[in-house]
Amino acid sequence: MSGNIQLLTDTLAAARAEGRSVLIAYLPAGFPTVDGGIEAVTAAFDGGADVVEVGLPHSDPVLDGPVIQTADDIALRGGVRIADVMRTVREAHAATGKPVLVMTYWNPIDRYGVERFTAELAEAGGAGAILPDLPVQESALWREHAEKHGLATVFVVAPSSKDERLAQITAAGSGFVYAASLMGVTGTRESVGAQAQDLVERTRATGTGLPVCVGLGVSNAAQAAEVAGFADGVIVGSAFVKRMLDAPDHPAGVEAVRALAADLAEGVRGRA
Amino acid sequence: MPSDFFIPDPEGQVPSAEGYFGAFGGKFIPEALVAAVDEVAVEYDKAKHDPEFARELDELLVNYTGRPSALTEVPRFAEHAGGARVFLKREDLNHTGSHKINNVLGQALLTRRMGKTRVIAETGAGQHGVATATACALFGLECTIYMGEVDTRRQALNVARMRMLGAEVVAVKSGSRTLKDAINEAFRDWVANVDRTHYLFGTVAGPHPFPAMVRDFHRVIGVEARRQLLERAGRLPDAAIACVGGGSNAIGLFHAFLPDASVRLVGCEPAGHGVETGEHAATLTAGEPGILHGSRSYVLQDDEGQITEPYSISAGLDYPGIGPEHSYLKDTGRAEYRAVTDDAAMQALRLLSRTEGIIPAIESAHALAGALEVGRELGPEGLLVVNLSGRGDKDMDTAARYFGLYDTDAEVAADEADIAEIEGDAK
């Protein structure tokens, strides 16, 4: 069974045709439990997310700030396994018909086996993966298997990426390009900053046809609206996780995810 | 004038241009760090071929560090090593008390060449942190050291030294609260502050070019030891022995002996409470290839690639990874690695103290315990060189508790309860 790269591409194209940006939410699998995580992902879609990135928690999340570290830690202590991540992808996609990506670090996939991982992700209905510590020059094996199974390879670009590097990355990637709005790890920020717009413009200047979505630091509708003014998508992670961590109980956390997604969905339509 | 002390590995040897030692190494880093890591590689390559860089580093190594370090024969200790002749390469006599200063001074010079004003580093036992804080004081650089909270407790003396030298010490409370987590936190800082910050990585792991560059700065250990042994013993040793955590002092000793096929290269890993107990940090003995902290190498991990929490009595060896060149040397068979328990290391620490009047670091004591074994295997004809990578002052609290050297048992018990609480939280 082939993965849902086409669904991802179509979703981004449809939003562009509507003259708006997409909302991409991130939530870790297994947080606070596997079933609870599936409810949260489904709630993000219900609220208005167009795409969800499901995190595969890792023991050493060097690119994540304290909020996602805490969630990963809860998920790992709860014993989350790759099979649980696949189930999260499968059930969230089946319930909504929307594109679901996996975001994780390279070692869990390397250890699990690239062929096995890509085959299972495609079979679960996944649309692709974001692997922020797998740079383009180390990615040939992954891309070969992702392509074979119809999965997108979403690369991250950073404000420090030089133009020739942006050309190399956009040429190798598929689905969309993840533009990191600032130099730093995941987490909410007061402002998103001018670096993001410059990076989006430099990425587009490579001539890539891929949509460019901006992540890192976005936490509210006003920021989402600002980013939607220059990017094809707005990626929000820590703000969702923080709502769940701060909620008095799980149902309230799920409801907070739905409410934030609804708020941000207004933002990406320029209505904040 | 060619350098006497900074002698980088001849061109044409491993690693490859992409930083691979066989199947190990590479650059598994976030895009945000690619430009900075590439800059380190370019600047190091320039520096390596610049006689002025070698001259500056030589001057520091002689007049600041005190190189060459002594080679000390230890006959009373050697009586317990099957009667083999044993020489210690005295990196403990370097300024700051360990081999770490060799690499730190090289990278501090590089930091200055790159025009960066801030340095960050990780530390386990505190030796790399102290050396880094020292170089930052000397060069007028801002300095932040990340150290696992468990390690700040067991190496409190080194925390005080770093602060005395003007460094900020951040106690890392994530994960196992040891060296691995300190490195994670240092990477997070680097991503956010890369414009003005150099990550002065302390071992031969991490993304290319760190494994090769840090090795080059430590090659002086083996180059000197080889020359000193030929003068003193008239022949090459049968074995060169060092402890391995990340592997920097070991690669520094081994490298000059690589072409000498008759010299066994023996790395001693921390077996903690015993490899069979699961409470150890014996990465090459019990790990599998994987990716940790920017390169492919042997890693202690579970079947789904989650890094497992290591354990060793020695903070400096308490790490679930290993430099990629060691993985390469293991797989090619050029080097051999054995696991040494906490108990064996502590007995060797006391033995060297009482037979030779030299108190080694607990890290280095793992190599001494390995030397006792290898010496017994070789017998009286054997000739060994052991890298005494650091001095033991920092470990006196751990050693005093282990051997019951304190007078006031009640105070000790209270402190132990504190430590158990911290370590329990970290589990």
Residue keyed to tokens 């990135």: A53
The CA R_g of chain B, rounded to the nearest whole Å, is 20
ipTM topping 0.90: yes
In a mutational test of the A interface, the residue from B24, B28, B29, B31 whose CB has the highest number of chain A CBs within 10 Å is: B31
Active site residues of A: 53, 64
C-alpha distances in Å from residue A157, one per residue of A61, A190, B205: 18, 21, 25
> Worst-scoring range by mean pLDDT, A178-192, B256-270, B372-386?
A178-192
Residue type at A227 in one-letter notation? V
Residues B39-56, mean pLDDT to the nearest whole number:
95
Angle, in degrees to the nearest 10, between helices A163-172 and B31-48 = 130
Q: How confident is the model at residue B1 (pLDDT cuts 50, 70, 90)?
A: very low
| Phi, psi angle pair for B210, to nearest 5° | -55, -45
Taking the C-alpha atoms of residue B341 and residue B313, their distance in angstroms, rounded to an integer, is 9
Taking the C-alpha atoms of residue B268 and residue B313, their distance in angstroms, rounded to an integer, is 14
Which among A110, A156, A160 is the nearest to B305, CB-wise? Answer: A110
Q: Which of residues 133-162 of A touch B (CB under 8 A)?
A: 133-135, 137-138, 155-162
C-alpha distances in Å from residue B332, one per residue of B70, B300, B335: 31, 20, 8
Q: Are A258 and A44 in contact (CB under 8 A)?
A: yes
Q: Are A88 and A54 in contact (CB under 8 A)?
A: yes
Give the ranges where B120-200 is alpha helix by DSSP (H): 127-139, 149-154, 156-164, 179-193
Q: What is the model's pLDDT at position B407? A: 85
Give the DSSP letter of residue B78: H
- pLDDT for B345 beyond 70: yes
Residues A121-136, mean pLDDT to the nearest whole number:
98
Give the DSSP letter of residue B25: E
- pLDDT for A26 beyond 60: yes
* Cis check: omega of the bond before B68, within 30 degrees of 0: yes
Fold of B21-65+100-210: Rossmann fold (3.40.50)
**Bigger pLDDT: B8 vs A261:** A261
In a mutational test of the B interface, the residue from A166, A183, A203 whose CB has the highest number of chain B CBs within 10 Å is: A183
- pLDDT for A187 beyond 70: yes
Residues of chain B neighbouring A159 (CB-CB closer than 8 A): 32
Distance from CA of B327 to the nearest CA of A (A): 17
Two structure tokens written together for B79: 């009586």
Residues A100-125, mean pLDDT to the nearest whole number:
98
Distance from CA of B175 to the nearest CA of A (A): 8
Residue type at A212 in one-letter notation? V
Domain B71-96+219-426 has CATH 3.30.460.20: no
- pLDDT for B427 beyond 50: no
Q: How confident is the model at residue B423 (pLDDT cuts 50, 70, 90)?
A: low
Distance from CA of A63 to the nearest CA of B (A): 6
Count of pairs with CB atoms under 8 A, one residue in A, one in B: 110
Domains B21-65+100-210 and B71-96+219-426 share a fold: yes
Domain A5-267 has CATH 3.10.129.10: no
Q: What is the model's pLDDT at position B11? A: 57
Give per-residue pLDDT as tens, B282-339: 999 999 999 999 999 999 999 999 999 999 999 999 999 999 999 999 999 999 999 9
For chain B, what are the domain ranges? 21-65+100-210, 71-96+219-426
Taking the C-alpha atoms of residue A271 and residue A266, their distance in angstroms, rounded to an integer, is 5
Nearest CA in chain A to B26: A138
- Strand pairing class (B168-172; B295-299): unpaired
Distance from CA of A11 to the nearest CA of B (A): 26
Q: What is the model's pLDDT at position A189? A: 75
- pLDDT for B12 beyond 60: no
Q: What is the model's pLDDT at position B10? A: 67
- pLDDT for A190 beyond 90: no
- pLDDT for A181 beyond 80: yes
Residues of chain B neighbouring A62 (CB-CB closer than 8 A): 30, 184, 187-188, 293
Q: How confident is the model at residue B13 (pLDDT cuts 50, 70, 90)?
A: low
Residues A170-191, mean pLDDT to the nearest whole number:
88
- Contact call for A59 and B306, based on CB within 8 A: yes
Q: Are B205 and B179 in contact (CB under 8 A)?
A: no
C-alpha distances in Å from residue A142, one per residue of A68, A216, A243, B153, B221: 25, 24, 33, 42, 40
Distance from CA of A185 to the nearest CA of B (A): 6
Taking the C-alpha atoms of residue B296 and residue A5, their distance in angstroms, rounded to an integer, is 29
Active site residues of B: 100, 122, 389
Computed over every residue of chain A, the mean pLDDT equals 95
Q: State the CB neighbour count (10 A cutoff) for residue B286.
A: 18
Residues of chain B neighbouring A110 (CB-CB closer than 8 A): 290-291, 305
Rounded to 5 degrees, what angle do the CA atoms B391, B393, B398 make? 115
For chain A, what are the domain ranges? 5-267
Q: How confident is the model at residue A89 (pLDDT cuts 50, 70, 90)?
A: very high
- pLDDT for B257 beyond 50: yes
Q: What is the model's pLDDT at position B175? A: 81
Residues of chain B neighbouring A112 (CB-CB closer than 8 A): 304-305
- pLDDT for A27 beyond 90: yes
- Contact call for A156 and B30, based on CB within 8 A: yes
Q: How confident is the model at residue B5 (pLDDT cuts 50, 70, 90)?
A: confident
- pLDDT for A191 beyond 90: no
- Contact call for B291 and A108, based on CB within 8 A: no
Nearest CA in chain B to A134: B28
- pLDDT for B159 beyond 70: yes
**Is A76 within 8 Å of chain B by CB?**
yes
Taking the C-alpha atoms of residue B321 and residue B314, their distance in angstroms, rounded to an integer, is 15
Two structure tokens written together for B415: 């402190």
Q: HSE, CB side, 13 Å, CA atoms: give it for residue B204.
A: 32
Partner residues linked to B289 by β-bridges: B298
Q: What is the model's pLDDT at position B419? A: 65
> Worst-scoring range by mean pLDDT, A36-40, B76-80, B288-292, B414-418?
B414-418
Chain centroid offset of residue A124 CA = 17
Q: How confident is the model at residue A183 (pLDDT cuts 50, 70, 90)?
A: confident
